[in-house]
Chain A
Amino acid sequence: MKTFKVQTISRIKRYIPLYFMLLPGAAYLIINNYIPMAGIIVAFKKYNYQKGIFGSEFIGLDNFKFLFQTQEAWIITRNTILYNLAFMVIGTTFAVAVAIILNELNGKTMKKVYQTSILVPFLISIVVVSYLVYGFLSSNTGFINKSILEPLGVEGISWYSTPRYWPFILILVSLWKGFGYTSIMYYATLVGIDHSYYEAAMIDGANRWKSIWHITLPSLRPTITILTLMSIGKIFYSDFGLFYQVPMNSGPLINVTNTIDTYVYRGLMEIHNIGMSSAAGFYQSIVGFILILAANFIVRKLDSDSALF
């Protein structure tokens, strides 16, 4: 008994330096991640600046009642989910297609050039992207109004106050910014395919389409599954910059650009309605968490190797 204890202590002692290495990271995670997790209970309180999150008065579900009575609760949920679904379907199809093209291409140098170019949009901050968009869409000096519509004799469109174009614009911008990254990710999977598969298929008389269908696509399946799973888990989250900065926080566009993230931000910083804002944040955290667990559960049933955890 005694020797056992001594052994355990000396064993633990040996690891003390390693625990010290963990310390800064662990402290940071507690502060940056775990305390705010506990802080989501602010959604059940009538927030008071003097008393702070934990001292404020408890008011039950009032904040949620107010939030879900508004039209906005429905609009932000709809927008967040529909945009994410569109990004997921269009983005994945596009990226897989580009990855396959890259895989089929001859010519090492050109391939490098293409890869380099399609990654550029990913490197740029969304704030710069909003200027690129503004360069095309500004109503007085934008390229589309001035150099395309005007010469055609069509009257310029006031883009930043016409909501019906924005679903397309936002999907296009998101695609432009992200497809290079995902394409390279899929392409990296394809580079790993053993070439003898293709040679064997050719000997058996398979044409290009058949090899793509039977060899290339199936080998992408695990990557597609895991990336889709991750996007489903994030379907309640949106890129704040894309929906806030790119439409220039324009009032007339709000019904097609408001997502849960922009709603929470505006509630907290612009309208100072902390009750509604924290209720929406709570709703996002909890539903998002349930979705990621559910998505992972389903994938584990279908194909346990592709599951996240």
Chain B
Amino acid sequence: MASASTSATNAASTPTKLKVKRFAPAETPTNTYLTDEKGVWAWLTTVDHKKIGLMYLGAVAFFFALAGFLAIALRTELWTPAKTFIEADTYNQLFTLHGAMMVFFVLVPSIPAALGNFILPMQLGAKDVAFPRLNLASFYIYVFGAIFTFLSLANNGFDTGWTFYTPYSSDSNSAGIIWVTLGVFILGFSSILTGTNFITTIHKLRAPGISWDRLPLNIWALYATSIIQVLATPVLAITILLLAMENIMDIGIFDPALGGDPVLYQHFFWFYSHPAVYIMIVPGFGIISEVITTFSKKTIFGYWAIALSSLAIAFIGFLVWGHHMFTSGQSAVATTIFSFLTFLVGIPTGIKIFNWVATLYKGSISMKTPMLYVFIFIFLFSIGGFTGIMLGALSVDIHLHDTYYVVAHFHYVMMGGTLIALLAGLHYWWPKMTGKMYNEPLAKIAAGFIFVGFNVTFLPQFIMGAQGMPRRYYNYIDQFTPFHQTSTIGSYILAVGFLIILGYLLHSLFKGKQAGPNPWNSRGLEWQSTSPPDFHNFAHTPVVIHGPYDYHQPMEEFQLGLAVEHGHDEAHAEEATEAASEAKTEA
């Protein structure tokens, strides 16, 4: 994509090819967004989307480590059928916290808030999101929500499972529940405001030339996600507020002892929480589209199919919440309709998988780490997705509901899906964000640990779930011991993988090789800038004249430059060159 600071209409009206004086971005930029503001206070008060994205990344990594550590503790406890080293009541609190932290503090915000915040404006050729101060506020709201959740732990904690089903969650009038529900309520607004910001940015701040049919698929994915965030999260907010009020003053809407209906709670809760899983995975789909095209050196197969399928998932995703409640006593008609719609929602996702595989065909595949994660994603997410469809079949679900089969299913889609996509995106955009390359062989080894560890952890869970091992159970019968022990060993392998990742990523910050502007030779707009980028992302507002994945065009076509108008002589070209270099050194 070429850039012009003169009006693009010149290019449109002249039949001859636009003459552009191209400037390669500096290999080792001296003045970047990292050097522009210095000091802790500058970071804490920044309105720069890139810094906010990094702060989110740090927070998400922290919560992932914490919740992951809890997972290791849980799996270790499950080594033996009876107590291994944790009390039963503590066990319940631990799996509840593990789930709540992973869902609300890691999976929902991770890709949109951490990577999305950084990359979205750059892919749109914008200087920032539409509401930078609101963006910072979203981050602090997230932190606030986390603080409230931790305060809950200091006040008796909570052991209801991350789903907070009534009447157990409304009966005890527990301080712990009140704190965590208020914490989740607050956190929801972080999600809503980020979604609002993204929708507005995508509509109003696109650089000239980025028409809707030239939007990177990552943007389409974030757009669909933001729509879900804005429509679904407020329903969680009101549900959790009502739950808090049940605990604080016994309002009685959900508690049968007070005249309420506990299944109503489930309907309200899942009306958000089902679309929530699409908030978690759809941004991941966007990342896969970006990485798979770059490392196949080929344009995406089925651009509109992938773009519109994200919107289809967003829409149908609002209609399937009842599949979490097949055994809760809904009418037969309702369950049948929800089952049918659940099958339907799998179709747009399947469309994406086929289109990605078709993208690979006759591509020039480069198996760098991000691409490795793409393949891991396709494998693991397909298993997760298929088992979701199986759970959507009513007769099968009667047996599998609330068993380890469900646990394995959602770990395959959330961890094997969202988290792997996050790792793909992290490894893809790491050079852009930090200007450094990480150790590639070590990264591939870590990916191996994660792939092996993940399957060893979760494949046995499908089997034991089908054999009847219930979820959330502290004790189990002897026949499940080999499965649990295998699963536990797998979790340690996973942990090693993540520790390796943490190690080489941190190491790269200090000792990593300079990345240069475009180590992957991507045609993406965000790559036509220095690594790390300038504070304002681009020296001039880019004007985009190519599609997002035009790999058939030579790399030189995409280097930003200044248009040299026809009829103007060298003198003007000189001026333009000087102005641009000045602007660059200023930047």
Q: Do A and B bind each other?
A: no
